[in-house]
Amino acid sequence: MTFLKKANLKIAIQGLEGAYGHEAVLHNFNKPDIMFCPSSEEVFENIENQKVDLALVPIENSIVGNVTVNTDLFIKYKIKIVAEFFHQVSHCLLGLPESELRDIKKVYSHPVALGQCRDFLQKYNIESIDSFDTAGSAKFINEWQDKKRASIASNLAAEYYKLKILAKDIQSFSKNYTRFCAILPQRHHYYPTEKGAYKTSLAFSTPHRPGSLLTTLNIFDRHKINLTKIESRPVPENLFQYVFYVDFLGSSKDQQISEALSEIKEEVDELFFFGSYPAGKIV
């Protein structure tokens, strides 16, 4: 049995009971012991201080793009990725048990969820109000006991906060997936050994001279490495300098990738290797 398949792993996530991260943990781990954290920073602190076995953090969404707050923390806390999971997001309109869709005048949720359900809300002339997260908004509906108010959250949140599902799958785009990564401290001894396709993630900063990024990207091209993602993020302490996050297919144990990494180390100022791990599947 691999480390990730053990029962009762203590796993940190950001959010409350009923969050989409909560759903993702339940779908992918065996009887997890979940620590719910109010912020991403606290999730990473619990990993760093070894208060949990691992953490599951969202990295990107198929509609709204990257979750930059988490990728920025990758470098600060020196983590490694050991698995990735694609979780389908299905937004539900949740109200009190006595509520009906025609009663709802205001809906609360995270701004991203509200944006993804804009067509539905306009159709029913429902006012949208930003909240700090989806599960938190469901909790508020339970506490307020106002049948004219509803939240947009998960089916799981309806169970936790004893709410009624007034409408399912209300997002404008049916193919809505969030990519989650399971992370550990770099010092942790576990490394994936599963068979099959792998993905590798890293970040690097380049010298501040013309063509330095192109020189680095050409190394991937020469070694026929398929990049699946590239993202630039500013370095706050160094004005107008950037770190480039890259995902690509393959493992660091593959010869062409090992050779490419050796060449890249010679060209960049800093290289942050987050790990090679089994590529997740969209199901």
Active site residues: 178, 180
By DSSP bridging, strand 164-167 and strand 10-14 are unpaired
Q: Which pair of tokens denotes residue 260? A: 């490419």
In this structure, the chain runs to a length of 283
Count other C-beta atoms under 10 Å from residue 191's C-beta: 13
Scan for tokens 């690097």, then name that residue.
204
The rounded distance, in Å, linking the Cα atoms of 100 and 167 is: 10
Name residues whose C-beta falls within 8 Å of residue 112's C-beta, 6 or more positions apart in sequence.
61, 64
Scan for tokens 């960049």, then name that residue.
268
Residue 92 pairs in a beta bridge with: 153
